[in-house]
Each structure stands twice: as C-alpha cells, then as structure tokens.
Amino acid sequence: MYSFRASLFILLFFFTASASAQFSRRDQRRYSLAEKKYEQLKFDDAEKLLLPLSKRYPNSSAVWDLLSQVQIRNYYVRSQQDMIFSLAKPDSTYKPNSAERSRRDSLDRIFVRIMNDGRPSLRYFNRSVNTWREATLRCSDAELPSMLLRTCVLDPPSTDSSELPKAMLQFKLGEEALGKQNYADAIQFFSQTLKYDSLFFSARINLGNAYFYNKEFLLATGTFRECIRQRPYLQEPRKYLVDALFQLQEIDQAKHEAIEAIILYPDVSMFLKLQSIARANNHSFDRHWQERVVFPNTVGDQPLNEKGDRDWMEYINGFSIIEQYCNKDGIIIKKNNLTQSTYSEIFSWEYMLKKTSVDKFISARKMQEAGYLDCYVMLSEYHIDFNAQYQDFARKNKDKLRSYMEFLMSE
C-alpha cells in the first residue's frame, strides 16, 4: 500500500456507513453510544462497547464496520504514542576497535528489532487483524474489515511521496483542499503536483478522486486507468474506476472492470458493487456466500465452533487428512490418491459435502453439479487465511473464474 497515512485517509474518506442491524433496544443504545465515543475520538471506550455486540450480532455489517473503523483509527493513534527507545550516549573518551564497534552495531540492531517487535501498537494491530478475520468469516457484507485485511496485510508495503519539494508542497495543499471538499482547488493542486513529479501515485489517485467528487466522471475514469497501469496489483483504483463508469452509465464496462477487480482480490465491496451493476441491467447477483464457523487451514483451536457444529467438523477432518500432502499455505505439493485438486481448501469442501446430508450446503452442491465447486470455494467463499491458494488458483484459472462470474450474473 502507499503510505499508511494516505491509505487511512482514502479508506475512511470513501467509506460509507453500513445499514443498521436489528438490535434490541438496549443494544441499539450501546451501538449509538459507541458511535458517539468514536466521534469523540474515545476509541478504547467505543471498542469496549462494540466487541460484545460483535458476538451477539455476528452477521451485522454495521457492528463489524464501525468496530473496524474504531480499531484502525485507534491503531494509528497508538502507533504515534509508542515509546521511542534509544541507547545511552557512549562515553566519548572510549575508543573501541573495529571488532568491538561491529559487535556493538550488531547488538544495537538486535535491540531495536526486539523493541519494534514488542511495541504495544503492533500487538494491538495483530489483535485487530484477528477481529477482521472473524468479521469476514461470519458476515457476508463486512465491507471495511475485508478492505483493511487487503490494504494493511496483503498489499505490498511502500512509501509513496516525492523527493521534489515543489511537488510535495502542491500535494499537501491538494490533500487539504480534498479534505475540505474544495474539489476544484484539489484538482488544480494535484495536477500541478504531477507536472513536477509524473510518477507520484498518491497525487494521481487523489486527482481521480477529486475529479469524481467534482462530477467530472470522464476525466476520473482516465485518471484511474492511468493509476491501474502504474500499479496493476492494487485494487483501489479499480474500485474507483468501476464507480466512475457506473456514473457514466457505462454499465457493461463497469461490470467487466468489477469482475477483473474481484479476480485480482475478492473484496466484499466489489461484490456489493456488482449487485448494483446487476440491478442496473435488470438482473440480480448473488455470490451464494455461506457463513462458516471455523477458520480455514487449521485443525487447531477453533474458538468459533463453540457448539461443536458437526458439519463443519467434517471440513476440519478433511483438512487433517490432506494436510500432510500440503505446503504451509495449504497448496497440495505431494502425490496422493485423495483428490485431483491442488488445494486443501477445495478438498476440505469436497470431503465435507460427501460426509454431510444433501440438505446442507445447498449452494455448494449446486455449484458442484454445474462444475464450479472450485470457483465457488475459492471466490464466493474467499477468506484471507487461504489467500495463497486463491492467488495460485486465480493465476491458473482466470478464464474459468470469468465464466463463473458470468454464470452467477445470469442466474
């Protein structure tokens, strides 16, 4: 991803609130209080109110999305508050030899690494990631948790800025104008930034955003396409391109770009966009998502399966059988007589369908009959825990995934 600050700004600036859940009257008051605590920047208080609600309403996107907003903002604040560790100033009268100096430098690096690995904000971030993982396991439209898992965990880290002072000055002015919703000024500043530094990605994507919110959708589409050419592995410009095309009523193009973006990464927000695109074509779109109560790729502790769900225990049993033939990512690398698939996730579903009654997992069985069980498992039931399997599958089966998406759109 680009710099964390820019990434956070873009995520929250463009994120829209989810629909309200059907809370009890008491829990509605708690949720409203959590919203107020969030607005007051009292993130710890808001999180304490929301965590119990996420257990009582595991299918509520409203709870998961607000909780994720609280956590990412809280992480940013905590990362600024981390203690800065420094070594004691060395005695200026002591002159170590080269060997001693090398040893000290090595120890210094080890010390700094240990301090960084143990910093409180990192521990909080890892706990937040587990919350987002659970959200996307339990809720079909947990939009922000899905987005944060991608941008904060999967997207390659990079710092996007310019070494040219004139470019940075114009960029900062553009950010201020965009934040104040002065879109015409933002367009001018970001355009000037790119004249100084044509490779400044954050300036380009923000220029596209400014065009979009200034309702200059044609210019926005061109800018977002340039962003995609510059960084084809990122999904944000693809999502914004779909929005701009939809505003231009270029529905078929929007559909094509949305499918390509989903194949790149099955982000929840893109599935929601496809629903809008399908409605514009007088169709419906349903990815037939199935809530699951166990995490993929493990037979260990499964805290969500508290009731001992027998159906999903068969999924775990299937993984325990195939695990010995897999690498650490669950990709099957050893010869076996169990499956023709290359992925433990697909085998685990195949095994579960064999061992459970025909009135369970109806959608999966329907896709199996249509020859799309692999696509259903990998795409419709995507979870970050088997991302390595999905990326390998998508690289080798792009045409089949496109065919599967068309199949879903034509139902």
Average pLDDT for runs of 10 along the chain of length 411 = 45 50 88 96 97 94 96 90 50 54 55 58 92 95 94 80 90 94 97 96 96 98 97 94 97 96 95 93 91 83 61 92 96 95 97 96 97 98 97 98 94 77
Nearest to 187 by CA among 199, 175, 197: 175
- Give yes or no: residues 128 and 193 share one domain: no
- Give yes or no: residues 367 and 399 share one domain: yes
Q: What is the pLDDT of residue 117?
A: 55
Q: What is the pLDDT of residue 90?
A: 46
Structure pTM?
0.84
- Give yes or no: residues 134 and 207 share one domain: no
Identify the domain boundary among 92, 127, 154: 154
- Give yes or no: residues 148 and 38 share one domain: yes
Residues in a beta bridge with 326: 332
Q: Give me the domain span that covers residue 381.
A: 310-409
- Give yes or no: residues 223 and 147 share one domain: no
- Give yes or no: residues 266 and 333 share one domain: no
CATH code, domain with 225: 1.25.40.10
Q: Is residue 100 part of a domain?
A: no
**Cα–Cα distance between 293 and 129 in angstroms, integer?**
17
Count of residues for the chain? 411
- Give yes or no: residues 178 and 132 share one domain: no
Residues in a beta bridge with 338: none
Nearest to 192 by CA among 166, 213, 216: 166
Q: How many domains are contained in the chain?
A: 3
Q: Is residue 194 part of a domain?
A: yes
Q: Is residue 373 part of a domain?
A: yes
Between the two ends of the chain, the Cα-to-Cα distance in Å is 36
Q: Is residue 301 part of a domain?
A: no
- Give yes or no: residues 127 and 52 share one domain: yes
- Give yes or no: residues 10 and 141 share one domain: yes
- Give yes or no: residues 341 and 396 share one domain: yes
Q: What is the pLDDT of residue 87?
A: 40
Q: What is the pLDDT of residue 89?
A: 43
Q: Tell me the one-letter amino acid at 56.
A: R
Q: What is the pLDDT of residue 332?
A: 97
- Give yes or no: residues 257 and 372 share one domain: no
**Cα–Cα distance between 322 and 158 in angstroms, integer?**
37
